[in-house]
Structure 1
Amino acid sequence: MHVVVVGAGEVGTSIAASLAPDHEVVIIDVDPDRAEQLKYEIDVLTVSGDGTTASIQAAANVGEADMVIACTDDDRTNLVVCGTAKTLGDPFTIARVKRTEYLRTWEGSKGAFGVDFMVCTDLLTAENIVRVIGLPAAVDVDPFASGLVQMAEFEIASESPVAGQTVREADRFESLTFVGVFRDGEMIIPHGDTGIEAGDRAVVIGSPESVQAFATDVAPDTTPGRADEIVIVGGSEIGYQTARLLEERDFEPRLIEQDGERARWLAENLPETMVMEHDATDTEFLAREHVDEADIVVSTLASDEGNLLVSVLAKRLGVDRVIAVVDSADYVTVFEEIGIDIAINPRTVTAEEITRFTFDSVAENIAVLENDRAEVLELQLTEGCKLVGRPISELVEEIDATFVIGAITRNHSLVTPRGDTVLQPGDHVILLVDSEFASDIAALA
C-alpha cells in the first residue's frame, strides 16, 4: 500500500514508523531538515514543502496513493491537504482535527472536506480520560470485541495486596488472563509462578466484570464502585468534552475555569456540572472548595506547565488520583516520575487511533502499550488461516513470536483461552504481542 503522511510531528512520525515496515510510506513536511532526518531514522521517502499544494503532493505521487493521512498541528491545513489529494487521485483520506465542530460537520455529511475518515484529538482524549475514570486503579483501559472484552493496565503500588503474589495467586477470576508484566522497561510473558513486584505494570484481558473485580484486588482502598467526587481543572475543549461525557454516564463533576466568559459558556452547556470561575492554582480556594476530598482530579489546562503545577498541588492536598493531559510526549515520563498517577498525551492517543484504522484490514482493533513496546490486537480469524483448527498450546510453541492470547469471543460470547482451546473460523481473538512481531501475527489471521 502506498501511503502519504503529511506532517512529521509526533503524530505523523509515530504513524509512519508503524506503517513503514509493511508499506511504501512517503512523508511530506515543511521543514527540510526534519524531512531529511526521518529519511534515515525510519527508512521512508520524504518530500519537503507545503503539503496543501498540488505540486508537492504530486512529488509524493499522491495521484497513485492508496491512502493520505493529514496530521499536522493545524486543522484547516489538514482539511485542505485532503481536499487537494482528492483532485489528484482517489486515495482514502484521513484528517486529524482538534475542533469538534469540524467532526460534527463531517459526521453530518460523510465525505465533507474531501475527508473519508476524521479523527478528533480532543474528543479522543476525553474518551480516554473517561475510560480511566471508570476504572480508577488502571493507568490504561481499552474496550475490544464491541465491549465484551476489556484490556487494562495496572501499576502495582508497594501497598497493593497483589504485590508479592504470584500470577497464580492473583488470578482468581474465571474470565481474566494475565498477558504481560512490564518491569524496568522490559516485557515479561507471565506464567503461573511469575512474581508480581511493586512498580510493575500488569496487563490483563478479560470480561469487564472480571477486570473491575481485579482492580478492586489491586487497590481496594482506591477503587470504589464509582468516583463520586470528580474535579476537572480547565475548561478547554478537552475539559468540556470530559465533563459532557461524564454527565452522559450520570456523574456530576465540578469544573474550575478562570476565564469568566468561558466559564459562563460552560455553565450554560453543562447542566449537571458545577462550574466555578477561579484560578485553580489558588491553594486557599482549593482548600475552601474541599478539592482535597475529590476521588479524582483531571487537569486539562492549555499548557503542560499549568497542568504540572495543578497536578502537584492536587497531590500535595492529598487527592487520591490525578490525571493530567500532557501535550508533549517528552514530558509524560516527567509527570509520572514525580508521582502523577496518569499522564495522557493527546498526540499518542491520536496516532494510536489512526494506526488502528490503517490496520483495519488485518486487525479489528489495536491498542499500543508502553511507548509502543507492545500492542494488543483484535483479529477476526478467517476460514483456512494458519491459526484455526489447532490448540493454542501448539500455536505458542510453533510461532516464533512473543505473544499471549488473552480472550476469544465466539458467536458474541466470551471464551476464556486455555492451552487446549481450539481456535475456529469467525473467532475474534484478542492478544498481546511484542510490537516487533505485530505485523507477523496479524498476517496469520
Structure 2
Amino acid sequence: MKIIVLGAGQVGAGIAVEMANEANDLTVVDQNPVLLKKLQDRLDIRTVVGNASSPTTLIDAGIEDADLLLAVTSRDETNMVACQVAHSLFSTQKCLARIRSTDYLQYPALFSPTAVPVDYIISPEKLVTRHIQHLIEEPGVLQVLDFIDGRARMAAVEAKSAGSLLGVRLRDLPSYMPDHEFRVVAVFRDNTSIQLDGQTRIQVGDEVFFIAACEDIAAILVGFRESGKRYKRIIIAGGGNIGEKLALSLENNYQVKLIEIDEAHALHMAKTLQNSIVLLGDAADADLLKQENIENTDVYCAVTNDDEANILSSMLAKRLGARKTLCLINRSSYVDIAQGSAIDIAVSPAQITIGALLAHIRRGDVLAVHSLRRGAAEAIEIKVHGDRQTSRAVGRSIGKLSMPEGVSIGLIARGEQLVFPHKDVCIESGDHIVIFLTDKRRIKDVERLFQVGVTFV
C-alpha cells in the first residue's frame, strides 16, 4: 500500500514506525527537516520537506498514485485543505484527517464529498476522553477496550492476592464463575508474555488480559483482585479540550472538581459545566490539593498539555493520599518511566490515536485496532469473508487453524450471539473475530490467515 503521512509529530512519527515495519511504501511530509531527519535515521522511508497542503509538495510526495492520505499535522486547517487538494486534483482513494477543534466537529455536514472530502475524521481529544472515561467506569483496570460495537470489552488487570481466581487453572475458570463467560487471551509475567494452556495458573503480579460482555467485566475483575469500590470523587487537573470533555462526560455520575490555572478559562469552564466545581489555581499546589481533600479523592486525572506538570502533580497527589492517579503523557519515552510508580495509569494520546488510524490501514476488513502495552502488543477486530475454497479460515475449526505464535482468538460475534471459542468452534463467513497479538509483528501472518484469495487452494 502506498501511504502518504502529513505531519511528523507524535502521531505521524508513530504511524510511520508502525507502517514502515509492515512493508508499505511510505512517505512522510513535514515543514521541519529535523523531525524528518530523525525518522529517516530510524526507518527506511521517503521524506519530503514542505507545506503539507501544497499541491506541489503533495506531487513530490507521490500523491498521484497514493492509496491513502493521512493528514495528521498539528493544524486542522492544513489537514482539511490537504484532503481537499488530494481529492479534487488527484482523486486520492481515501483521505483521513486529524481534526481537533470542536468548532469544526460540531458540523458533520462540513465533511462530505461535496464539501471537505474527508473519509474518516480522527479526533484525539474525543478518543482520549472516551478511553479515560472507561478506565474510571471500571475500577481496577489498567486498560479497557471496546469491541463488537461496544457489546464486548477487553480489560487488563494486575492480579492481586485477594482475587478468588488466583492459583486456579485456566481450564477450571468457568466453574468458578458459571454466571459470567469470559476468556483469558494473554498473561504477562515480569513483563514477558507466557505461553497459555489449560494448566496455566494466574499468579500475584501477573498482568491479565481477558475479554467478556460489557455487563460482566466488573464481576470478573473481582476474581483477579480485591473488590474495588466504585469511584465517586474525581479531580481533573487541566481545563483544556480533554479536561473539559472529560468533566462534561463525568459530572452527572460523579463528584467532579476541575482545577484550571488560567483565570479567563476557569470562568469559561464554570459557565460550561453544570454539576462540577471549577477551582482557579495550580494543580501542583499542595495546599490547594489538601484544601480540596485530596486524601478522599478516588481518581486524580492530570490532563494538561504539559507532560512534566502532569507527572509531577500526579506524584504529589498520590503522596497526599489520592486513591488512584491517571496521567496524560504525550512523550512516549516518559510513559514507561512513569507507569507503575506513583502514577497508576499513564495514558498516551498518540498510541490511542494511532490505534484508531490503524483500523483504516490494515489489510482485510479490520473494524477496530487497539495498541497495547505501550505499542508492543495489539488487539484487533476483523470481519471474516469468503468460503472454504477462498479462505484459509472459513469452514475450519479453531483447533485446525495455523495460528501464529503469540496470537489467540478471544471472541467471535456471530449475529447477536457472542461465542467464546474453543478448539472445536468453526469459523463462518460474516463472523466478527477479536484477536490478541502479544507481538504486533505477527499482524502480517494474521492478515494472510483471514484474507480472501481468489484462487486459494
Q: Same fold (TM over 0.5)?
A: yes
The answer to whether the aligner puts 1:52 opposite 2:58 as a matched pair is no
* Pick aligned residue for 1:239 from 235, 243, 248: 243
Displacement, 1:145?
Answer: 0.6
Calculate the aligned-residue CA RMSD, in Å.
Answer: 2.3
* Pick aligned residue for 2:435 from 424, 431, 442: 431
**Aligned CA distance change for structure 1 residues 428 and 230 (closer, same or farther; 3 Å):** same
Counterpart residue identity of residue 14, structure 1? G
* Separation (CA, whole Å) in 1 of partners of 2:324 and 2:293: 15
Counterpart residue identity of residue 151, structure 2? L
The equivalent of 2:284 in structure 1 is: 281
**Aligned CA distance change for structure 1 residues 17 and 299 (closer, same or farther; 3 Å):** same
The equivalent of 2:421 in structure 1 is: 417
* Pick aligned residue for 1:442 from 414, 430, 447: 447
SS of 2:360's partner is helix
The equivalent of 2:103 in structure 1 is: 101
The equivalent of 2:217 in structure 1 is: 211
Displacement, 1:268?
Answer: 1.5
Displacement, 1:234?
Answer: 1.4
Displacement, 1:218?
Answer: 2.8
CA contact (8 A) 1:132 1:138 kept: yes
Alignment of 1:144-183 (within 5 A): 144-157=147-160, 166-168=169-171, 172-173=176-177, 174-183=180-189
The equivalent of 1:74 in structure 2 is: 75
CA deviation string 1:376-425 (max 9, x = no partner): 11111113122122221121xx3344311111111211111112112222
Counterpart residue identity of residue 98, structure 2? R
SS of 2:197's partner is coil
* Pick aligned residue for 2:233 from 225, 229, 236: 229
CA contact (8 A) 1:106 1:113 kept: no
Counterpart residue identity of residue 239, structure 2? G
Counterpart residue identity of residue 344, structure 1? V
**Aligned CA distance change for structure 1 residues 87 and 382 (closer, same or farther; 3 Å):** closer
The equivalent of 2:454 in structure 1 is: none
Displacement, 1:154?
Answer: 1.3
CA deviation string 1:133-156 (max 9, x = no partner): 111211111110112211111123
CA contact (8 A) 1:189 1:404 kept: no
Residue range with higher mean Cα deviation, 8-17 or 57-66: 8-17
Query: Which consecutive unaligned segments of at least 5 residues does structure 1 have?
Result: none
* Separation (CA, whole Å) in 2 of partners of 1:313 and 1:138: 22
The answer to whether the aligner puts 1:270 opposite 2:276 as a matched pair is no
**Aligned CA distance change for structure 1 residues 321 and 443 (closer, same or farther; 3 Å):** same
CA contact (8 A) 2:162 2:226 kept: no
CA deviation string 1:317-376 (max 9, x = no partner): 221111111121111112214231111111221111111222374311111111322211
Residue range with higher mean Cα deviation, 178-187 or 168-177: 168-177
* Separation (CA, whole Å) in 1 of partners of 2:308 and 2:205: 26
CA contact (8 A) 1:182 1:202 kept: yes
Displacement, 1:227?
Answer: 1.5
CA contact (8 A) 1:404 1:432 kept: yes
Residue range with higher mean Cα deviation, 320-329 or 47-56: 47-56
* Separation (CA, whole Å) in 2 of partners of 1:160 and 1:285: 36
Displacement, 1:4?
Answer: 0.6
Displacement, 1:110?
Answer: 3.0
The equivalent of 1:128 in structure 2 is: 131
**Aligned CA distance change for structure 1 residues 282 and 10 (closer, same or farther; 3 Å):** closer
Residue range with higher mean Cα deviation, 320-329 or 155-164: 155-164
Superposition misfits of 4+ residues, deviation over 6 angstroms: none
Displacement, 1:442?
Answer: 2.5
* Separation (CA, whole Å) in 2 of partners of 1:369 and 1:79: 30
The equivalent of 1:83 in structure 2 is: 84
The equivalent of 1:363 in structure 2 is: 366
The equivalent of 2:65 in structure 1 is: 64
Displacement, 1:123?
Answer: 1.6
CA deviation string 1:282-325 (max 9, x = no partner): 32232222121111111112211211122112111221111111
Alignment of 1:246-261 (within 5 A): 246-247=250-251, 250-261=253-264
Tell me the matched-pair count.
440
The answer to whether the aligner puts 1:138 opposite 2:144 as a matched pair is no
* Separation (CA, whole Å) in 1 of partners of 2:205 and 2:9: 31
* Separation (CA, whole Å) in 2 of partners of 1:392 and 1:161: 29
TM-score after normalising by structure 2: 0.89
Counterpart residue identity of residue 421, structure 1? V
* Separation (CA, whole Å) in 1 of partners of 2:234 and 2:141: 16
CA contact (8 A) 1:5 1:70 kept: yes
Displacement, 1:126?
Answer: 0.9
SS of 1:358's partner is coil
Counterpart residue identity of residue 65, structure 2? E
* Separation (CA, whole Å) in 2 of partners of 1:170 and 1:415: 16
The equivalent of 1:353 in structure 2 is: 356
Query: Which consecutive unaligned segments of at least 5 residues does structure 2 have?
Result: 451-457
* Separation (CA, whole Å) in 2 of partners of 1:18 and 1:254: 38
CA deviation string 1:11-34 (max 9, x = no partner): 112212333324322112233354
CA contact (8 A) 1:71 1:96 kept: yes
TM-score after normalising by structure 1: 0.91
SS of 1:26's partner is strand
Residue range with higher mean Cα deviation, 157-166 or 281-290: 157-166
The equivalent of 1:403 in structure 2 is: 407
SS of 1:357's partner is coil
CA contact (8 A) 1:163 1:196 kept: yes
The equivalent of 2:455 in structure 1 is: none
CA contact (8 A) 1:362 1:443 kept: no
Q: What is the percentage of aligned positions where both structures have the same residue?
A: 30
